Structure 1
Amino acid sequence: MRRTPRLGLRGYLVGFFALAAIAPTVAALPFIVSASSAVADKRTVEGLRSAGQNAGARLARTLYTPWRQVDGLAAMASREDEPTSVFRIRLDTARRLDDRLSWIGVAGPNGRVTAAAEGMLEGQDVSARDWFRSGLEGPFAGDVREALLLQRLLSPGDSSEPLRILDFSKPVRRASDGAVVGVIGAHIPWSAVRDLVREAVRPERAEILLVSRDGTVIIGPPGVEGTRIQHLRGVLAAGQGVVATAEEEWPDGGRHLSVTMPVPGHKNMPSFGWSLILRQPSAVAHAPAREMAARLLPPMLGVSLLLLAAGALLARAIARPLSRLAASAEAMAAGQLDEPVPEHREHREAAVLGAALARIQSALTACPAPAAASAAASPQPLPRRHAEQRPAPAALADAHQ
């Protein structure tokens, strides 16, 4: 006798619909999460890049104001008919109008300061300074340094912090023949630049670093400010003055996503060679990607469960009438003909099968079995043994006499 399978049609259908509902979600989930993470990470990088661009543009515009003073005063200094006393008044006025000018003055070709705002450093020899030597050749922007000559003039007596400045310089050319007759220079306090960079608007928990051309972090978190970093891709990109995005371990601890971009120039202002690095902890930078994936997962699971529920209802609608008809056929096979065949109209197969079983049951009920009918119509002969024991009528008469 063949063994009846334990799993019915309904089980097979439910399993099929479960696989059809869950398999696409499981297969598509990694791709959807990867795509959503890529979109979220791209937005994070764009946010860091936008903050860096805004900070760089603001820094360039801020420094352009003192540079414009230097540029304009260089043209005025080229006039041969203007006395030094009059030009000194112009220098005083420029310094009073712009508090970002710590010092501004003109040095002759021998390196001696001939005129300066408020007379500071007049007569001093500045021929060894980079701003003077570079200014003889053309417009110059000098990176941050300590102000050795201005320290005692501009810093409070009780200040232990060295005075740090930036330099602007430009050659003064004689109007008649264009020969270099001196250099005009200006010093900008480093504190103004530092405060501007540190106060720049940036994304959540992002840090902004100002890096010089040689890879030194001149403004940044305490763990890296003042250090020279050469092994990080973001800092190497800063040394080359290119835009770059990197995610790597930093020496002050932690993994960060960073965006590097050069500080843009502004009009004719010479470049300092700086780059800005916007960095954000990787856990914070990738948080939007995880949140987006978490938002996508419940709807996908909800759709899968909805499809599974619909599949279970459909499996029940298909399998239930067939199961009942199978039970009715099994009862007829056992000789139980008194129960009517259930009628089902859920689908065509169930209706056709039910009608066929009803006709079979009706035929079996109307026509009894041939063996039973023959037994009921024919009398049964007596057993042969009993017939032989019955005495004949003549023998009974003789015995009686």
Structure 2
Amino acid sequence: MPLNTLPALISGRSLRTQIAWVFGALVVTLAVLLSLGFGEALKRRIQGDANASLQMVTDNTAAFLAHGLFERIREVQVLADADVIWRHGLDTAEVNNVLARYQAMQPHSLWFGVADAQGVVRAATGNMLVGQNVEERPWFRAGLQAPYVGDVHPAKLLESLLPPTKSGDPYRFVDFAAPIRIGSTTVGVLGVHGYWEWVNEMIQTLTPAVAREQQLEVFIFDRSGQLIHAPGKQQAVLQRLGQTLPDPSFAKVPSDAHQPREIKVLRWQDGKTYLTAHAHLPARNAESDLGWHIVARIPVDIAFAQADEAVAKALLGGLAAAAVASLLAWLAARRLSEDLDALARAAKDLEAGKPGADIPAAHSSREVQRLSSALRDMIHKLLSANEAMETQVRQRTQQLEEANQELDRQARSDPLTGLLNRRGFDAQMNHDLALARRSGRPLSIITVDVDHFKRINDTHGHDVGDQVLQRLAATLATRLRQSDVVTRLGGEEFAVLLPDTDLEGARTIAQKLVDSQASLGYPVIGGLTISAGVSTLRGAEDTAQELLRRGDMALYQAKREGRNCVVVQA
């Protein structure tokens, strides 16, 4: 019944009738609100249980997968360290028997093999690849140095030697390798190709019995966010749709591993919306730290179906309770007339801000109208004040963020060239140095100095000198890769940080910079040459200061040797 028709309906009736009508309407309203509130609370609890269940599957899968990778590389390392097996050669009958026994214990490891230090396979299960050279394979190159776990990859050399898979899909492997040493000499590499199907079987084991009913599915994405595992036949479909990690925020590793993670409702590339949970692979050691992402999902309509049903039942129960309460209100209306005035006074207390006052809104006789008016005033004030406060907070927050961004940019940038300054360069160098130490990849630096720059300033003035530095900075930036870092250390001296670049590669880049600079013409001054010094990271104990110092020494040597050249300081 619309509220605006209630006064006409009860006009001229007794106070008891008016109170009964009003109280009945109030009880119905409260019953509906309480039912909806209870139903919503129950819905959130059910959703919370669904979230917890989904996150548990994700965390357990990540933990078991990390444990499996750790155990396998540890087994390979232990076997490789057993020098009593290898002491009499890499192709003995004992070696072949050991490999066969280990494969029998690990049926998903489709190939156990031993390659000598030159990359020639000396022994292998099923004699597959024996005599072939695997020197170019990543597992062999990495396994010569230290224990290694490789990311998922398709079979190459073994594809034609293995029987077709049950599903008809191509083989995919995870490689495990470790160096074989006798004393201090590395004599070969033990390699294992683990069939990727073991991941699917592990996930099926960990998935609860109701997973099929709930359509719960588990996916794995690699460090770059590319899909490497999907249940059933979905992988090819999702890859064709361009499915990557469904939320970019999943790629961020949390600073606190125990911090609760948000279960998100996300739309996937198949056009459907899913309740989605995520966990990082908790690597047990550096070798098995592949950066994988474990993602589980349930269709939203299935995940929340029970919750929606609970809300509907709660609402029906509330309506039934409201009907009973309305009947009781009719019987008790005679005693309620005095209470209405008390409710009106309580509403005024609520408007004045007194603690503990809480009265629901309603419409009826004079007393109830006073209550309704008081509540409207109160709500208006609260909403206006809250809106003004939120607007002010948003403005202040935005101003502060913009100011902080500008201060950080100014603190890290050289105002003349727009390149990083020494402070920004130190931060970037420490970051790249840490990455190089952890991954074992090379890192090199080129120090560059303008030849006879003082003569330019003395002859043509500092304005021309500044223009020369600006053009040189632009030239360096455009002739290098996006991953390279160019900085102005001060004056006419620049530095170029080269991640994933060894000494020879850095020498080639430096020579190209010197040659190209010598071929350029400059307004006013004509030609301009530069000298360059090159140094590279020598090992995990090497420091940023030593790397830069060696680069400076090489640069000074280039100056002494006549300028316009490159000198390398290993």
TM-score, length of structure 2 as denominator length: 0.49
Deviation at 1:248, TM superposition (A): 1.6
Work out which of the residue numbers 69, 74, 77 in structure 1 matches 2:75.
69
Partner of 1:224: 238
Partner of 1:113: 121
How many Å separate the matches in 2 of 1:299 and 1:158?
Answer: 54
Partner of 2:17: 11
How many Å separate the matches in 1 of 2:164 and 2:19?
Answer: 88
Helix, strand or coil at the partner of 2:152: strand
Flag the structure with more relative contact order, 1 or 2, with Cα contacts below 8 A and sequence separation at least 6: 1
Contact residue 92 and residue 117 of structure 1 kept, 8 A: yes
Instruction: Note the 1:277-292 alignment, pairs <5 A.
Output: 277-292=295-310
Deviation at 1:250, TM superposition (A): 1.0
How many Å separate the matches in 1 of 2:240 and 2:253?
Answer: 19
C-alpha distance 37-156 of structure 1, shift in aligned 2 (>3 A): closer
Structure 1: tracts of 5 or more residues without a match: 320-401
How many Å separate the matches in 1 of 2:223 and 2:240?
Answer: 13
Letter of the 1:187 counterpart: H
Deviation at 1:198, TM superposition (A): 4.9
Letter of the 1:232 counterpart: P
Work out which of the residue numbers 245, 253, 270 in structure 2 matches 1:252.
270
C-alpha distance 122-267 of structure 1, shift in aligned 2 (>3 A): same
Contact residue 268 and residue 274 of structure 2 kept, 8 A: yes
C-alpha distance 122-239 of structure 1, shift in aligned 2 (>3 A): farther
Higher mean displacement: 146-155 or 63-72 = 63-72
Higher mean displacement: 143-152 or 72-81 = 72-81
Contact residue 257 and residue 280 of structure 1 kept, 8 A: yes
Deviation at 1:200, TM superposition (A): 4.6
How many Å separate the matches in 1 of 2:288 and 2:21?
Answer: 73
Partner of 1:328: none
Does 2:29 correspond to 1:23? yes
Identity %: 27
Contact residue 241 and residue 270 of structure 2 kept, 8 A: no
How many Å separate the matches in 2 of 1:277 and 1:160?
Answer: 25
How many Å separate the matches in 1 of 2:88 and 2:144?
Answer: 21
Instruction: Note the 1:117-196 alignment, pairs <5 A.
Output: 117-156=125-164, 161-174=169-182, 176-177=183-184, 179-196=185-202
How many Å separate the matches in 1 of 2:284 and 2:249?
Answer: 24
Partner of 2:394: none
C-alpha distance 231-259 of structure 1, shift in aligned 2 (>3 A): closer
C-alpha distance 215-227 of structure 1, shift in aligned 2 (>3 A): farther
C-alpha distance 251-81 of structure 1, shift in aligned 2 (>3 A): closer
In the TM superposition, what whole-angstrom CA distance separates every residue of 1:342-389 from its partner, at most 9, and x where no partner exists? xxxxxxxxxxxxxxxxxxxxxxxxxxxxxxxxxxxxxxxxxxxxxxxx
C-alpha distance 48-219 of structure 1, shift in aligned 2 (>3 A): same
Helix, strand or coil at the partner of 2:174: strand
In the TM superposition, what whole-angstrom CA distance separates every residue of 1:195-240 from its partner, at most 9, and x where no partner exists? 443565243112221222221222223531576534731x651575
Structure 2: tracts of 5 or more residues without a match: 1-10, 338-570
C-alpha distance 298-146 of structure 1, shift in aligned 2 (>3 A): same
How many Å separate the matches in 2 of 1:30 and 1:318?
Answer: 26
In the TM superposition, what whole-angstrom CA distance separates every residue of 1:92-146 from its partner, at most 9, and x where no partner exists? 2212332122111222332222332343222222121111122233222222222
C-alpha distance 264-123 of structure 1, shift in aligned 2 (>3 A): same
Partner of 2:322: 304
Deviation at 1:64, TM superposition (A): 5.4
Instruction: Note the 1:310-329 alignment, pairs <5 A.
Output: 310-315=328-333
Aligned length: 312
Does 2:71 correspond to 1:81? no
How many Å separate the matches in 2 of 1:259 and 1:73?
Answer: 37
How many Å separate the matches in 1 of 2:174 and 2:80?
Answer: 18
Higher mean displacement: 61-70 or 161-170 = 61-70
Contact residue 180 and residue 189 of structure 2 kept, 8 A: yes
Letter of the 2:163 counterpart: S
How many Å separate the matches in 1 of 2:165 and 2:317?
Answer: 68
Letter of the 2:296 counterpart: L
Deviation at 1:278, TM superposition (A): 0.9
How many Å separate the matches in 1 of 2:244 and 2:104?
Answer: 41
Partner of 2:100: 92
Deviation at 1:9, TM superposition (A): 2.1
Deviation at 1:73, TM superposition (A): 1.2
Deviation at 1:258, TM superposition (A): 0.5
How many Å separate the matches in 2 of 1:193 and 1:237?
Answer: 21
Higher mean displacement: 94-103 or 66-75 = 66-75
How many Å separate the matches in 2 of 1:52 and 1:260?
Answer: 6
Helix, strand or coil at the partner of 1:137: coil
Contact residue 221 and residue 245 of structure 2 kept, 8 A: no
How many Å separate the matches in 2 of 1:129 and 1:83?
Answer: 22
Instruction: Note the 1:312-391 alignment, pairs <5 A.
Output: 312-315=330-333
Deviation at 1:58, TM superposition (A): 4.2
Contact residue 217 and residue 228 of structure 1 kept, 8 A: no
How many Å separate the matches in 1 of 2:206 and 2:136?
Answer: 35
Partner of 2:221: 211
How many Å separate the matches in 2 of 1:311 and 1:161?
Answer: 71
Helix, strand or coil at the partner of 2:161: helix
Does 2:250 correspond to 1:237? yes
Higher Rg: 1
Helix, strand or coil at the partner of 2:87: coil
